[in-house]
Amino acid sequence: MAEELVPDRPAPLARRAAVLGSPIAHSLSPALHRAAYAGLGLHWSYDAIDVDRAALPGFLAGLDDTWAGLSLTMPLKECVLDLLSEVDPAAERVGAVNTVLPGRHGWRGTNTDISGIARALEEAGLHAAPTTATVVGGGATARSAIAALAALEVSSVTVCARRIEAAESVAALASSFGLSGAATDTGPDERLISADIVISTLPGDAARPWAALAPVARGALLDASYHPWPSVLADHWGSSVIASGRDMLLWQAVEQVRLMTGLEPPVDLMRAALPA
């Protein structure tokens, strides 16, 4: 009897994804996503592509069905909102999208920075019942931090930004989430740094002025900056509960991989892919 022929299994569908921003060469997202794809056995590509505000509409218009999704970083998280057919409620509420996915009638936006912030703090050892928080900065990451703090059941937050208008806008968002929100532009003081959670959304070592008071801190710190690390603020922090921008980046990427692939991300492989 002739041996029955078994057809070869089709190769897994090769799809594309990328992180967009400007500048973008420094991004660690390709390392995280590529490690996930390798661990999941997916023959997908993930690139870093320099796209600024002016180029974003044309880039989105040129996407085809080989694209599984996009990660967005500065300066695109806010300007992309008007270019999408759908925006998830949480992303619309905070006015920031960091993830673009195929939608029912085009492209939809969501925000995984929110879960990334909360998960980074929890993994760092955040105690179970934080009530007060300070957010330093007034941009898109600060607004995502407000949603994360609401998910962590914080009851009050003070937003400190160089421009009082920016601080007031983020504080108003906190109030819409049911938090008691206050705004200030006076800079660091002992009351602000003594909150149960302090989240700095400032780039690089721009939070350096807060470092002089950092030794009195007894709460958790998330410094969204990850280069250099440890930051001056983290290096002087009085508590051992410290999360970095790399932790936030990891966990928001974990959720992005889950959304883009529909599979459970290999967290350990992704973490190991981050440069020392």
Mean pLDDT for 11-23 is 86
Question: How far, in Å, CA of 20 to CA of 260, rounded?
Answer: 16
Give residue for tokens 């009050």. 156
Mean pLDDT of 108-117: 98
* Band of residue 236 on the pLDDT scale cut at 50, 70, 90: very high
| Residue 3, pLDDT above cutoff 60 | no
The pLDDT, as a whole number, for residue 187 is 87
Pick the more confident residue, 5 or 68: 68
pLDDT digits (tens, 9 = 90+) for 160-171: 999 999 999 999
pTM value is 0.92
The per-residue pLDDT for 127 is 79
* Catalytic positions: 77
Q: Render pLDDT for 89-101 as a digit per residue (tens, 0 to 9).
A: 999 999 999 999 9
Segment 208-211 long-range contacts (CB within 8 Å, at least 24 positions apart): 208/232, 208/233, 210/136, 211/235, 211/236
C-alpha atoms less than 13 angstroms from C-alpha of 106 in its C-beta half-sphere = 12
Distances (CA, A) of 177 to 88, 114, 150, 152, 162: 16, 13, 6, 12, 23
Residue 193 confidence (pLDDT) above 60: yes
Q: Measured in Å, how far apart are the chain's first and last C-alpha atoms? A: 59
pLDDT score, position 106 = 94
Structural domains of the chain, with CATH = 16-111 (3.40.50.10860), 114-246 (3.40.50.720)
Q: In this prediction, what percent of the chain has a pLDDT beyond 70?
A: 95
Query: What average pLDDT does the segment 244-263 reach?
Result: 97
Give residue 13's pLDDT. Answer: 61
Q: What pLDDT does 11 receive?
A: 47
Look at the chain and count its residues. 276
State residue 8's pLDDT score: 55
Tell me the pLDDT tens digit for each residue of 23-38.
999 999 999 999 999 9
